[in-house]
Structure 1
């Protein structure tokens, strides 16, 4: 683009994507008189999944607005909690977010996850077909038009990633109801039903079990239960405070 310039100011959270705007929070960019404001913002590095209201000279406009020379644009972040209309809230996680996927499942959040890299086109197609919010740190993936919905995961630390997703979307939490391995629903199971998965010490020590209705994996309150319980308690406590 080498036409007339516009002035674009970004919300602080979005400056991660726009290095040239970090010193002041704003930048000037050229337009071509044809491209939409959404296209201009993406060309500056910001995925539209991260964009909330767009203001031009103080008035809200759609992403389809074609900016004119001299306009002052304000780019806000998405509202919190972010409401995703059209389907039950559920997620699809990129290959690098395995720990986050397991923790969301632990909290009972419907979370699909690809453990192998199936490629951006396939991920975007699955997001659209299953109406799942795509969570990723891949900006290119989040810019794909076929995505149903998406969000950039800002941190690389699982604890911070989980808190971010819970704060941004406020999904309903139903801990201990999903398989952390495959996302299937859990049911109560007798010791006899899962005996083939138990070692001797487990068989003698524990009496309460659950089993995945999909992959048939068995669950019980084993050695890591206290650590998992702490994750659940933190999430429930934060959720209660926000309500």
Structure 2
């Protein structure tokens, strides 16, 4: 047997990241005797944000382990719900605007950068504010500055939302955040937001909320039924929230 060859078993959930040759119960990978196991896994295309337990010959090891020839290595996917060292707060890249709005609709702290500020600035913000970086960009998730990250597997917003909620189990508080800027909502009078209202809205609505940060006004408008359906489905599947308003 080649002394530089190790045997790698990847969790099926990670197959999406690797070449077909490694989508097997066991595949051979070269080890140079200097690179860490984390580096080896990433070199195959798997972001470390998606990696859970690592075992070598049946014993758990850190990503800093240096593989040697003949080792049997198992790479698991992240256990759900994923434990964080801080509250579940998120940062989303330019391509996940719809997901950001849906998370905010549920009261989840979801920062979103538009226009794009670039990978380096996103990674720095993730670190500075201790936010989980959500992205479909593997290169961004591989940046060392990222405090924590998660690959968003689907292109479909409804599947993206379920993925994030099942992975991190953030507390839900629907209708408490501004979907435009992520600020917190407060009760508002009709008089205080009248400049944002059309004549018909002023006649037919009496209950309003307003963002404490950007001033955006909210009420139960034409899209409320569709938004309420998103909220109801998320609450049914991922837990009962505390009592909240429904602007």
Q: Do Structure 1 and Structure 2 share a fold, with TM-score over 0.5?
A: yes
Q: Secondary structure in 2 aligned to 1:96?
A: helix
TM-score norm. by structure 1 comes to 0.96
| 2:43 is equivalent to residue 8 of structure 1 | no
State the distance in 2 between where 1:63 and 1:198 align. Answer: 55
Note if contact 1:42-1:48 (Cα within 8 Å) is conserved in structure 2: yes
- How many pairs align? 239
State the distance in 1 between where 2:228 and 2:3 align. Answer: 57
1:116 Cα offset (Å): 1.4
Q: Deviations over 1:29-67 (max 9, x none)?
A: 111101110011001110000000001111111111100
Counterpart mapping for 1:72-91 below 5 A: 72-85=72-85, 87-91=86-90
Quote the residue 1:56 is aligned against: 56
Q: Deviations over 1:138-160 (max 9, x none)?
A: 00000000100000000000000
Q: Secondary structure in 2 aligned to 1:178?
A: coil
Counterpart mapping for 1:1-243 below 5 A: 4-21=4-21, 23-85=23-85, 87-240=86-239
Q: Deviations over 1:89-112 (max 9, x none)?
A: 100001000000000000000000
State the distance in 1 between where 2:57 and 2:22 align. Answer: 21
Q: Deviations over 1:178-215 (max 9, x none)?
A: 00000000000000000000001111010000000000
Q: Deviations over 1:155-187 (max 9, x none)?
A: 000000000000000000000000000000000
1:3 Cα offset (Å): 7.2
Note if contact 2:106-2:172 (Cα within 8 Å) is conserved in structure 1: yes
Gaps of 5+ in 1: none
State the distance in 1 between where 2:125 and 2:145 align. Answer: 9
State the distance in 2 between where 1:36 and 1:29 align. Answer: 13
Q: State the superposition RMSD in angstroms.
A: 1.3
Gaps of 5+ in 2: 241-247
Note if contact 1:3-1:32 (Cα within 8 Å) is conserved in structure 2: no
Q: Secondary structure in 2 aligned to 1:128?
A: helix
State the distance in 2 between where 1:184 and 1:3 align. Answer: 57
1:27 Cα offset (Å): 2.3
Note if contact 1:3-1:30 (Cα within 8 Å) is conserved in structure 2: no
In structure 2, do the counterparts of structure 1 residues 123 and 23 end up closer, same or farther at CA, with 3 Å as the change threshold?
closer
